[in-house]
Structure 1
């Protein structure tokens, strides 16, 4: 019975990890088709991103209403994005959330899927830098060395894209901005989560609702209104089906990410994400029939190696800190 229970647990974990890989990779390819594919052919990347937020917000709203109507069948955290206190606390984070998904999609619009991971690979580096600047937390030389490896892989990848004549400077800049936004979003999320009782889904609900509003002026500023109004497929059901699929993928990736962390650990999630990025890059070169140089592949392996080493170093540091806390606790004298 014990062995059957362990087998069922491993099967469940494997299924969740496979679901994360499939949905994450599918989301990238679907978004690439929506943002720069010949089938859609709509030059309005922020509008596409806005609609994905609309779909996610609608799903969260529906789940919230169903939970109130059928509490025995559905479960969604209670909360309203119209609460003035919620608006005050969460909107600053939603600004970062909006910037993060906007820059990520803009990066994907201009770069190849195979280069997408490299273009956004500096997230770990900015995490270390911003954590020090904003929170005053220092880091070890081992961690700094891992970040140096990642930066080296990034520059080698950019250089090889330039040599091949396929480098998009604009896409790379958006990738760097996306990495910075993601790092800042991660830091501020830790500050806001206690306000929503650590409810990730409730925070996702708020972020998507507020982003629907925040994207509107950005769409206007980016001069996408004319492209949308004159788009010949605006009333085509197939276009909206593709857009909705993109929105469902965007919502699903949030769900499977949270689920993978829940059934494994944040460390395992990072390892899984790194391995997934490798598979995604290989698949993209095959799917789009791209031929890459040895140095280009080396840049990917350098970034992957640096990221994996960073994860390992952080794991060892967390274990060491945990052990030291236990020793300090046990050393405290107690009165009898």
Structure 2
């Protein structure tokens, strides 16, 4: 019985990790297709805004199911509170910057380089944690960040040598990494506003984002681009847009689920391994030939990221043990 339970546990972990990989990789490929594929729409703000609209709609669908079958589906109340919207607004501004720069990066760089272009998130996490929260980082963790920066620089150099380097795409990737780190910090600050409920925060965050995108689309003249877009009546285009939105909503759920059934460390390692698989898949899918040094740069970033996760996990375990021991005294 114990053996069977253990097998069931491993099967559950395998299924959840597989679903996380599938959703995450599919989302990247779908967004790449929308932003620079055959029926590309040169309006990245609208594409991102539409995905936020789909997320809000998905929240209402889940709320409806929670009322219909409360014993199987749980979801918080979605009554809009203007006061909560205002308190969540700073996070929403960061969120808009994060997903916008992320999609702009994906638009200008290939999927194979996407991981390198977005690899400085860990470095910015350390910097922002110090400058905003005043928390210091160990030398071992900083050394891991140094390895990541070295891999990033080598990756950019090799991409340039291959003739496929995009300065704008790389800069967007750096800005996306910065906003991802800020988003993590502001999420911790804002969560108490919605009583720690991540679904409520997702709902309010995306409602705010939909509103924030409207003036941005006006400023960047994306409404005229939409009017002139030749595929705006294409069913295939809107199906792809909706799939992107559904997967964008799903990635938040499967990320939390993976952390729940494994651990934050395993999630980080899984994410790092997924990035490696995504890079290999992209080079195969688009028939890209990369140099040995290009592959080495990816390996450096992956190893640096994995080492950072291990170092932080050990430090957190030591800190928790010291806290537990001090409470017993």
Same fold (TM over 0.5): yes
Indicate if the aligned counterparts of 2:34 and 2:241 stay in contact, CA closer than 8 A: yes
Aligned-pair distance for 1:165? 1.1
Task: Tell me if 1:74 matches 2:95.
Answer: no
Q: Tell me which residue corresponds to 2:59.
A: 60
Distance 2:270 2:172 in 1: 25
Q: Tell me which residue corresponds to 2:278.
A: 280
**Correspondence 1:154-233 to 2 at 5 A:** 154-233=152-231
In the alignment, structure 2 segments of 5+ residues that lack a partner are none
Aligned-pair distance for 1:330? 2.4
Q: Tell me which residue corresponds to 2:12.
A: 12
Output one character per residue of 1:178-220: Cα deviation in whole Å (capped at 9) or x when no partner: 0000100100101111222221111111111111111111112
Task: Tell me if 1:118 matches 2:130.
Answer: no
Indicate if the aligned counterparts of 2:144 and 2:308 stay in contact, CA closer than 8 A: yes
Distance 2:86 2:207 in 1: 14
Q: Tell me which residue corresponds to 1:149.
A: 147
Aligned-pair distance for 1:278? 0.3
- What secondary structure, in the 3-state scheme, does the structure 2 residue paired with 1:50 have? helix
Task: Tell me if 1:43 matches 2:42.
Answer: yes
Distance 2:105 2:3 in 1: 47
More deviation, 148-157/58-67: 58-67
More deviation, 188-197/25-34: 188-197
**Correspondence 1:267-306 to 2 at 5 A:** 267-306=265-304
- What secondary structure, in the 3-state scheme, does the structure 1 residue paired with 2:154 have? helix
Aligned-pair distance for 1:162? 0.9
Q: Tell me which residue corresponds to 1:132.
A: 130
Q: Tell me which residue corresponds to 1:105.
A: 103
**Correspondence 1:315-330 to 2 at 5 A:** 315-330=313-328
Residues paired across the two proteins, number: 329
Output one character per residue of 1:90-144: Cα deviation in whole Å (capped at 9) or x when no partner: 1111111111111100100000000000000000000000000001101110011
In the alignment, structure 1 segments of 5+ residues that lack a partner are 332-336
Aligned-pair distance for 1:70? 4.5
Indicate if the aligned counterparts of 2:129 and 2:135 stay in contact, CA closer than 8 A: yes
Distance 1:55 1:238 in 2: 16
More deviation, 105-114/210-219: 210-219
- What secondary structure, in the 3-state scheme, does the structure 1 residue paired with 2:18 have? helix
- What secondary structure, in the 3-state scheme, does the structure 1 residue paired with 2:93 have? helix
Q: Provide the TM-score with structure 2 as the length reference.
A: 0.97
Structure 1 vs Structure 2 CA RMSD: 1.2
